[in-house]
Amino acid sequence: MSIKTALLSLCFAITAMAQTPNKNYFGQLNIEGTPGEYVTGGRTYNLTHRTGRLTAEISNDKTQMEIRYDDYNMPDVNFAKRNFVIEFQAIRGETLHKGKYKSAIRYPFNRKVEYSADSDIPARITYSNGFNFAGMERICSQLTADFTINILEFDPTDNRIEKLEVDFVQYCENGTSFAKGLLYLTRTQGVEFKIRQ
C-alpha cells in the first residue's frame, strides 16, 4: 500500500468516526455547521459528558423532550460559552418514538391557530413536528428541520430515559446553510435524566 493510499484511508476513517457515536461515552453530542450557519457559526463541536453537563428531560406524557449541554469551560474568545439546547416534539402531541420526523418547525410555535376576519373562534388549527436547536447565545426565529430518533429506551421502574440516540438537520431563517448533529446518551454516571411533571 502506498503512503498516499494509506493517508486517504486514514482520512476516511477519521471522518466516519466523527459522525458515529462512540458507545464508550455515556454522553456525546457532535455538531457540525456549514459555512454561514447562524447558531454554530460554521464550526464543528465534539462534546461529551467529560467536557460539560448533559441533561435529558422528557415530559411525563412523552410528547416533548429537551436536551441541554452546559460547558464546564470558560467562555471562548467571543465571550460565549459552548452551551446548547435541543428540543423535540411530535406532531399533534403524539408520543415520541423511534422513527423519522420530517418538516419540523420551531418549537414551541409548531401549533398555528388561524382566525377568520370577523370572529374570535379559530377557523383553522395546523400542527407540525416541533424542533429547536440553539446555543452560543443564538437562536433561529424561523427554522425547518428533520430529526430521526434511532434509539429511545425507557427504564420500566421509573419511566426515565435509559438510552437515546438522535440525529438532526436544521435550516435557519430559510437559508441554505445548515447545522447537523448526532446525540448519544446512556443513563449512567455523567448524564442526568429527568421527567417533567
10 occurs within a structural domain: no
Mean pLDDT score across all residues of the chain: 82
Q: Which three cell numbers stand for residue 144?
A: 425547518
4 occurs within a structural domain: no
Handedness of CA 70, 103, 173, 45 (dihedral sign): positive
Q: Where does the chain show beta strands of DSSP type E?
A: 27-33, 44-48, 52-59, 64-71, 84-89, 99-106, 111-115, 122-127, 130-135, 143-154, 161-172, 178-186, 191-196
26 occurs within a structural domain: yes
The three-state secondary structure class of 8 is: helix
| Model pTM score | 0.80
Write the pLDDT tens digit of every residue in 125-140. Answer: 788 999 999 998 899 9
Helices within 53-121 (DSSP H only):
none
Q: What is the domain extent for residue 131?
A: 22-196
The total number of structural domains in the chain stands at: 1
7 occurs within a structural domain: no
2 occurs within a structural domain: no
Q: Which residue shows C-alpha cell 454522553?
A: 27
9 occurs within a structural domain: no
Write the pLDDT tens digit of every residue in 143-185. Answer: 999 999 999 998 888 778 889 999 999 999 999 999 999 999 9
